Amino acid sequence: MEKKGAILIISGPSGCGKSTLLKNVYKDISDYYFSISTTTREPRLGEKDGVDYFYVSREMFEEDIKNGYFLEWAEVHGNYYGTSLKPIKKALSKGKLVIFDIDVQGHEIVRKKLNDLVTSVFITTPTLDELEQRLYERNTDSKEVISKRLDNARQEIKSFQKYDYFIVNDDLKKASKELIAIANIARVKSKLHEKEVIIKNWLNF
């Protein structure tokens, strides 16, 4: 049988704890490929090119859009963010679980294009107040950027019913366990396209 990977999309407002959660999950799952997005925004303190993002100029990003190199892209808070198609295809053909950390717009586009392979989860803090507090404690964004992020979170939360699962990240251990369960199920779910084959095997005899 042909090897076919699966896709796990993780979304949620900046500050909800996605990165920390993901670090926990990587210890417990195998054979995954984390999709690194390309962006035109400036690296934050401690972020590295090729690890957190691929950092490129607006000109380069726009050139790649024209060439159809992106599976999905969007402009958020005045910066471009996108996912290059080529490494995703390669990882999927090797049977890997491809993990995306993208926003609700990206989720909708990837789901539309690769629905059979996608499992998705939306991660939140319990309340907006707690998100605000975490963003101030993180101390990486200006007051203006935080305000933009909160506006954005308020919008994004309305879309979370489009996701397969959601996690309220109020307890790191519990939330990690839930995300591991979701990552494991993503591969099982990705086999749903085999249903037709099974039905044929069973009913045409």
Instruction: Tell which one of 120, 182, 190, 193 touches a second copy (CB under 8 A).
Output: 182
Instruction: Tell which one of 51, 145, 172, 199 touches a second copy (CB under 8 A).
Output: 199
Q: By CB under 8 A, is residue 184 in contact with a second copy?
A: yes
For residue 74, the SS3 value is: strand
Q: Alpha helix locations (H) across the chain?
A: 18-26, 58-66, 85-93, 104-114, 128-138, 143-156, 172-189, 195-203
Q: Which of 104, 80, 92, 89 is nearest to 156 (CA)?
A: 104
CB of 99 to a second copy, least distance (A): 16
Our CB check for a second copy shows the closer of 51 and 181 to be 181
> How many residues of this chain bind a second copy (CB under 8 A)?
33
DSSP string for residues in 175-187? HHHHHHHHHHHHH
Contact assessment for residue 90 and residue 26, using Cβ atoms and an 8 Å cutoff: no
163 Cβ contact partners less than 8 Å away, ≥ 6 residues apart:
9, 11, 107, 120, 121, 122
Of 120-159, which residues contact a second copy (CB under 8 A)? 124, 126-129, 154, 157-158
CB of 54 to a second copy, least distance (A): 32
Instruction: Tell which one of 25, 160, 176, 190 touches a second copy (CB under 8 A).
Output: 160
Q: By CB under 8 A, is residue 31 in contact with a second copy?
A: no
Q: Are strands 97-101 and 118-124 parallel, antiparallel or unpaired?
A: unpaired
Instruction: Tell which one of 166, 172, 176, 193 touches a second copy (CB under 8 A).
Output: 166
CB of 175 to a second copy, least distance (A): 10
Our CB check for a second copy shows the closer of 65 and 192 to be 192
Tokens 């086999």, located at residue: 191
Q: By CB under 8 A, is residue 74 in contact with a second copy?
A: no
Q: Which of 91, 131, 125, 126 is nearest to 8 (CA)?
A: 91
Q: Which of 202, 179, 200, 189 is nearest to 19 (CA)?
A: 179
Q: By CB under 8 A, is residue 10 in contact with a second copy?
A: no
Which tokens hold the place of 194? 């085999």
CB of 202 to a second copy, least distance (A): 5
Interface ranges with a second copy (CB under 8 A) = 124, 126-129, 154, 157-158, 160-161, 165-168, 178, 180-182, 184-185, 187-189, 191-192, 194-195, 198-199, 201-203, 205
